[in-house]
Structure 1
Amino acid sequence: MPKSLFLRCWLAWLLLGLSRLVLAQPPRGPLVVSPQVNADKTVTFRYLAPLANEVKLSGQFLKAQMAMTKDAQGIWSVTVGPVKPDIYPYSFQVDGVTTMDPANVAFFPNERFKASLVDVPGNTPLIHALREVPHGSVNYEYYPSMEGTTGSLVVYTPPGYDQAPNKKYPVYYLISGTTDTEETFFKVGKTNLILDNLIAEGKAKPMIIVMPYGNIAARVAEQRGGAKPADPTGRDNPEAVKRANDFATDLVSNVIPYIEKSYRAMPGRDNRAIGGFSRGGGQTLRTAFSNMDKFAWVCAYSSYLSPEEMERSYPAIVSNPANTNKQLKLLWVSVGSDDFLYKGTVEFMDYLKAKQVNYKSLVTDGGHTWMNVKTYVAATVPLLFQPQIP
Structure 2
Amino acid sequence: MSLAAANLHQLHVTNQGSPSGDATPSSNPQMTTISCYKQQAISLYATAVKTLSNASLEGSDAVGLYLTVVLLLSLFEWDFGSAGSYFTHLDGADTIVCLGFENIISLPWGPLILRSWAILRHTRFTRQLPFRPLEREKFSETHRKISQLSSRVLDGTGNLQALLTDAFALRNRLVLQICSEKQGIEDHCTLQYWRLWYSKVFGFPYASEVQGHHLTEMHKSQVQDGLYQNEVQLRVWREALPKIAEPIVPKALSNGNIDCRDGSLQYILPWAFLQQEHVLNYLNYLTGRIISSREVLDLYLLNDEFPDPLLPLHPLVVDALSVTEALDPESSIKYDIYGNGPLWIFGILSICAPDLRVVNYLLDVVLPRFRPFGSCGPLLETIIQETQIITCIKSEIERGRLTFLCDPDVVLTDDFALDEESMVYTKMAVVGRHRQGFYRDVVAVG
Shared fold by TM > 0.5? Answer: no
Higher helix share: 2
Larger radius of gyration: 1
Tell which has more relative contact order, 1 or 2 (C-alpha 8 A, sep 6+): 2
TM-score, length basis structure 2: 0.23
